Amino acid sequence: MNHFAVLTDLDGTLLDHHNYDWHAAEPALQALVRQQIPVIAVTSKTAAEMPAILADIPYLSPLYSCENGAVLADARGAESHLEILGASMAQLIEVYGQVKQQHGFKCIAFHEVSAEQVADWTGLTPVQARAAQQRHATLPIYWPDITEAQQATFMEAAAKSGLQVLIGGRFLHLCGEADKGTAVTAIRNKLSTGVRIMALGDGGNDDAMLARADWGVRIPAATGLDRPEPVQGVSRASRPGPEGWNESVLSWLETLASPTGSGKRED
């Protein structure tokens, strides 16, 4: 089974949306280790945040993608390598400022606030929040009362500058053309030829990852507010967070172990 890999979002998927706990998924994580199937994080978190997460969750691979697919990190060898796949922070901040000023939007980006404010938004500690602000290629934007019209205007303005806006569980993410689908392709190139991928995610920023996986699972939102599924062939976990993750992965492993199991979804 070493020709399989599991790619996973973190917040709201492997990690509980409210308390960031992952232990409900430990039975499935242990089963993946026994089968030598790597678990690779594809997350909106930053490279600065990931060492603490890898230390906390020993089942995760040192190969991972952060900032919604815009950064690829590989720490499997003696030295760590960081590859930027997306737009620069300078460009993102410039475009964000122009659009915000032009339309008078009441949104707030990570670079405009203190670590304490980010901690208040996310439930992270101030130390963790500072790591979340150390970004290479994506700009999270806090905009809790955004309307559909404002979102459409913001996304259109970003597109005119060659950027895109991804909708996450807590924030909008202004970024370049790289997304989690880009990360899937980059990770495939790092792994063995013909690797088959299962991917799990809860947010709109996970759509591209789920679409490029061989088997995609949508983790339901912890808030209970789900949108219609836009990705063809994706299955849905019965529960949010690590509980749903655990159940879905164990079920998938049973499918692989069956005589006719392939791990391949039917589109």
- By annotation, the residues acting in catalysis are 9
Q: Residues 228, 231, 232, CA angle at the centre, nearest 5°?
A: 110
Closest CA to 11 of 217, 201, 239: 201
C-alpha distances in angstroms, 47 versus 69, 74, 153, 191, 232?
A: 11, 10, 30, 20, 31
| Residue 125 CB burial class (10 angstroms; 0-12, 13-18, ≥19) | exposed
d(CA 133, CA 143): 17
Task: Tally Cβ neighbours within 10 Å of residue 12.
Answer: 25
Closest CA to 59 of 26, 103, 83, 95: 26
Instruction: Phi first, then psi: give them for residue 251, nearest 5 degrees.
Output: -65, -40
Beta strands in the chain (DSSP E): 4-8, 39-41, 63-66, 71-74, 81-84, 108-109, 138-142, 164-167, 172-175, 196-201, 215-218, 235-236
Q: Which token pair is 95?
A: 């475009």
For residue 92, the SS3 value is: helix
d(CA 91, CA 63): 27
65 beta partners: 42, 72
For residue 206, the SS3 value is: helix
Q: Which token pair is 197?
A: 């991928």
